[in-house]
Amino acid sequence: MRRLERVVVCGVGAVGSVVAARLHDLDPACVSVLAGGERRERLQRDGLTVNGRRFHVRCVAPGDPAPPADLLVVAVKHHHLDAAVEDMRSVVGEGTVILSLMNGITSEGILGRDHGAEKVLPAFVVGNDVVREGTSTRYSRPGQLVFGAPSNHPRDPRVVAVKDLLDRAGIPNVVPADILREQWWKFVLNVGVNQVSAVLRAPYGAFGAVAEIRDLTRLAALEAVAVAVREGVSLGPADVERIFPILATLAPGGKTSMLQDVEAGRKTEVEIFAGTVVALGQRHGLPTPVNDLLGRMIRALERLAGVGG
């Protein structure tokens, strides 16, 4: 079995910092963060702090001479992906495996187009309650990393090698029977939960406490299910109900990434959530009024914060 020894993490926000911390605990020499300019200076000066523990990771700047990564973990925001694709060219080699932990259903296609589809394994993280504040993150649940080969073959050599590394690093993970279906289900979850939380300023505990919040989440998520079905993905209303037991396991005061973005006045990922649902609805002749409204409201919040396009 191939052993992955050189890991590069591109994006050390809420999700990426947790992965980097676990890999650093496994072996500080095995992990580097791809960062240049002011970001690199900040990381070298301040390091990363995860659950109150500060540590320093090696940084590799775009274009630095270095061996290619065995594994590239991509965890940037969607609106940073185009720039990241260019930055990561110097660390992607012929044998590099690329694992995208980004939200949405489009990043794998973009990465595959630029670096080779054969390098990319679909992946996502579910069930985490990470809160990010600057270079500091904290969580009570790190979540589970779900990944697999597009073929769904569990013994794909890339899958076996990545699982070996994640297991050694103590990163909870699972290889599902159908990674595409599970990836679309995570998209459905994000469409409902992230957007409703952002508009209503609702932490995780509010979803269990307020029936109207659950109802609005269902309505938004069911529109995503409808377009998924038209895209050939076998999801249904029962998959929407899978969302709420997961939310009940998270810290009640925890917040979605989109709510954290709104509160911090940062650009959100509304384009890959409501934007994608509305665009697919138009393509397939399906009404998507809830996502149209949520999208408009979130864009209004962005404009009020001075970050809307």
Predicted confidence (pLDDT) per residue in 113-125, tens digit: 999 999 999 999 9
On the question of pLDDT at 309 being above 80, the answer is no
Q: Mean pLDDT in the chain?
A: 96
Identify the pLDDT of residue 231. 97
Identify the pLDDT of residue 258. 97
Terminal C-alpha separation, the chain: 47
Q: Please calculate the CA angle 147-148-151 and round it to the nearest 5 degrees.
A: 155
Domain definitions of the chain by residue range:
7-174, 179-305
According to CATH, the topology of domain 179-305 is: N-(1-d-carboxylethyl)-l-norvaline Dehydrogenase; domain 2 (1.10.1040)
Q: Label residue 53 by pLDDT band (50, 70, 90).
A: very high
Confidence (pTM): 0.95
Mean pLDDT of 154-168: 97
Residue 204 burial (CB count, 10 A): 22
The torsion region of residue 216 among left (phi > 0), alpha (psi -120 to 50) and beta comes to alpha
Identify the pLDDT of residue 19. 97
The segment with the largest mean pLDDT, out of 1-5, 36-40, 139-143, 273-277, is 273-277
Predicted confidence (pLDDT) per residue in 201-213, tens digit: 999 999 999 999 9
Using CA atoms, how far residue 59 sits from 10, 48, 50, 112, 177, in Å, is: 10, 12, 17, 24, 36
Identify the pLDDT of residue 169. 98
Q: Which one-letter amino acid corresponds to residue 7?
A: V
Predicted confidence (pLDDT) per residue in 285-306, tens digit: 999 999 999 999 999 999 999 9
Identify the pLDDT of residue 72. 98
Predicted confidence (pLDDT) per residue in 237-264, tens digit: 999 999 999 999 999 999 999 999 999 9
Predicted confidence (pLDDT) per residue in 164-184, tens digit: 999 999 999 999 999 999 999
**Same CATH fold assignment for domains 7-174 and 179-305:** no
Mean pLDDT of 75-96: 95
Identify the pLDDT of residue 261. 95
CATH of domain 7-174: 3.40.50.720
Q: Label residue 76 by pLDDT band (50, 70, 90).
A: very high
Identify the pLDDT of residue 66. 84
